[in-house]
Chains A and B, each alone.
Chain A
Amino acid sequence: MSVVLETRALVKQFGGITPTDRISFSLERGARHALIGPNGAGKTTFVNLLTGVLRPTSGTVMLGGADITTLSREARVRIGLVRTFQINQLFATMTPLEMIAAVTSERLGLGTRGFSRLDASAGLVTETADILARFRLDDIMDETIATLPYGKQRQIEIAAAFAAKPSVLLLDEPAAGVPEAERRELLDTVAALPADVSVLLIEHDMDIVFRFATRITVLVNGQVLADGAPDAIARDPAVRTAYLGEAAHG
């Protein structure tokens, strides 16, 4: 398998703390990879570094063999590196239809068109409809996003990322805060992502992680504590004391 996303000795410091401490990481093409670690381990910071929300103090980020460390956020999205947010980041005054159309229109390169109608592009109309149907949002597509239940908003969070046609999708705790009853639908959505999309999933729920992942990276205090196949991670004594044991008690 070939590596699609890679970091080399990535470091991020905020004043005295180092939430990303020389992380060298690789994500393989088509991966189902989980990134786990206790609260404050630096998982979200790592995703922010990958997607350009934060600039690293040192080290490099590579996508498809090319150095993208200094690339703008939107340029990374255009070459297929897309993420969701741990805390919902939605276009709250829009409807799901409008939000998905906004992302799709950008992906199709229509965003500079100031004089054409939104429904003038057949590609935009069909792709938007496809995504709404795929994420089972078509029945609520005309409601204002801000008024929708949290579980649905979480679903839109993923759908909007998917609308950008990622080759690499970074999911930051997609089911966080979602009530048990709605969790299943959300996790089905994650499980149903196309095989050619490489997925990095951040998740605290170990059942979900071990069901989903074929490879797991454990982050503690900004450093990679362990990296490998799920069964190896489950047996790793360092992981058990530093993380899994703690989670089992807490």
Chain B
Amino acid sequence: MLSRRWHPAEALFWAGAVAAAFLFPRQLLLMNEIAILALFALSLDLILGYAGIVSLGHAAFLGMGAYSAGFVALHVASDPLLGLFVGMAASGLLGLVTSPLVLKGNDLTRLMVTLGVGLLMLELANALSFITGGADGLQGIMMGKLFGQFEFDLFGRTAYAYSLGVLFVLFVLARRIVHSPFGLSLRAIRDNPLRATASGVPRNWRLAAVYTLSAAYAGAAGALLAQTTQFVSLDVLDFHRSADVMLVLIIGGAGYLYGGLIGSIAFKFLQDIISGFTPQYWQFWIGLFLVLFVLGGREMIHGGIKAVLARLRVLKPGKRS
């Protein structure tokens, strides 16, 4: 009972992501950006969709991962996996340390507190210019070969394969986690914290754990960003990063893991199309789109997605399905 098996539609989704590399060989850099944004959104989904923690400062963890990975590449070793690991660890640690701030209070106080942490990190990065390069950023990052084999090329072939691979591995892990007893306890807290604690769930520990995990995921996205663009600037900590990723989840829907993935595709295409004909006002148009979407379209679109998912559910009691 209670198991979620892989559905053919999921296999199709990932096959599509691989096939896209061959179908659109000139869009690999854009697709790399999408994969990284998807990972960032997946990270936010872990806390927002599964634990009900809202955040407007998730860029803090993206930035932490990006700067850590950039720092490792510049000063320690150029191996991408090492930088990825360090980025995740550093962001995870930052998540753990800041988690007490999101344990208390309601949605509004959480929005304010996370926003504050995000702004603080930006100011900190600006001030610590001997590490971060300040406004100039970290330049001249040279990445070593992936697995000592694959060079990062100008077209983004290795970059996309790398980002997609990391996204897939972390997605599978997240999928496993949200369907575990731990994941179920998170949903319990999200649905009703009062009942969750009255059922023996130690709310604060569980939320701190998922916040740390989510931060590490965001750190991975930041590391990928630093490594595949070979550049880190204060922009990774900018407020628009936190706002964009929230937007992505709103478009794609939170709480079923694919929302961030689908949302990031939609978001990047929207951004690409709109900025194509109106480069200066694209944010206006995406803002307008968002308003209309939230007012009308969302229920329709998500209703469709949920209907499909409901059919995908495998919930058979008493036996291993």
Chain A residues lying within 8 Å of B148, measured Cβ to Cβ, are: none
B271 to chain A, nearest CB (A): 31
Q: Does A74 lie within 8 Å of B184, measured CB to CB?
A: no
Is A125 interfacial (CB-CB < 8 Å)? Answer: yes
Q: Give the residue of A107, A113, A124 whose beta carbon is less than 8 angstroms from that of B200.
A: A107
Most chain A CB atoms below 10 A, which of B182, B206, B209, B315: B182
Residue of B nearest to A95 (CB): B315
A133 to B198, CA, bound (A): 22
Known: A77-B200, A118-B181, A118-B184. A89 touches B194 (CB 8 A): yes
Q: Give the residue of B1, B185, B195 whose beta carbon is less than 8 angstroms from that of A111.
A: B185
Chain A residues lying within 8 Å of B203, measured Cβ to Cβ, are: 74
Most chain A CB atoms below 10 A, which of B2, B182, B183, B197: B2
Chain A residues lying within 8 Å of B184, measured Cβ to Cβ, are: 98, 101-102, 105, 118
- Interface stretch, picked from B10-18, B114-122, B172-180, B227-235, is B172-180
Known: A115-B177, A116-B181, A118-B181. A106 touches B199 (CB 8 A): yes
Is B188 interfacial (CB-CB < 8 Å)? Answer: yes
Residue of A nearest to B178 (CB): A114
Known: A77-B199, A114-B182, A141-B317. A91 touches B191 (CB 8 A): yes
Residue of A nearest to B180 (CB): A114
Q: How many residues on the A side are at the interface (Cβ–Cβ under 8 A)?
A: 49
Chain A residues lying within 8 Å of B2, measured Cβ to Cβ, are: 97-98, 101, 117-119, 125
Residue of A nearest to B188 (CB): A102
Chain A residues lying within 8 Å of B199, measured Cβ to Cβ, are: 74, 77, 102-103, 106, 160, 163-164
Is A247 interfacial (CB-CB < 8 Å)? Answer: no
Known: A117-B3, A118-B180, A118-B184. A111 touches B201 (CB 8 A): yes
Q: Does A91 lie within 8 Å of B195, measured CB to CB?
A: yes
A89 to B198, CA, bound (A): 10
Q: Does B181 lie within 8 Å of A110, measured CB to CB?
A: yes
Known: A90-B192, A111-B206, A119-B2. A51 touches B181 (CB 8 A): no
Q: Does A74 lie within 8 Å of B315, measured CB to CB?
A: no
Most chain A CB atoms below 10 A, which of B180, B181, B315: B181
Interface positions of A from 130 to 186, Cβ below 8 Å from B: 132, 138, 141-142, 160-161, 163-164
Q: Give the residue of B176, B179, B181, B197 whose beta carbon is less than 8 angstroms from that of A73.
A: B197
Residue of A nearest to B313 (CB): A142
Residue of A nearest to B201 (CB): A106
Chain A residues lying within 8 Å of B179, measured Cβ to Cβ, are: 117-118
B interface list, Cβ under 8 A from A: 1-3, 176-177, 179-185, 187-188, 191-192, 194-203, 206, 209, 315, 317-318, 320-321
A interface list, Cβ under 8 A from B: 51, 53, 72-74, 77-78, 82-83, 85, 89-95, 97-99, 101-103, 105-107, 110-119, 121, 124-125, 128-129, 132, 138, 141-142, 160-161, 163-164
Q: A111-B206, A124-B181, A129-B317 are in contact. List 13 more A-B contacts (CB 8 A).
A: A72-B202, A74-B199, A74-B202, A85-B194, A89-B195, A91-B187, A97-B315, A97-B317, A101-B184, A102-B187, A106-B200, A117-B2, A121-B181
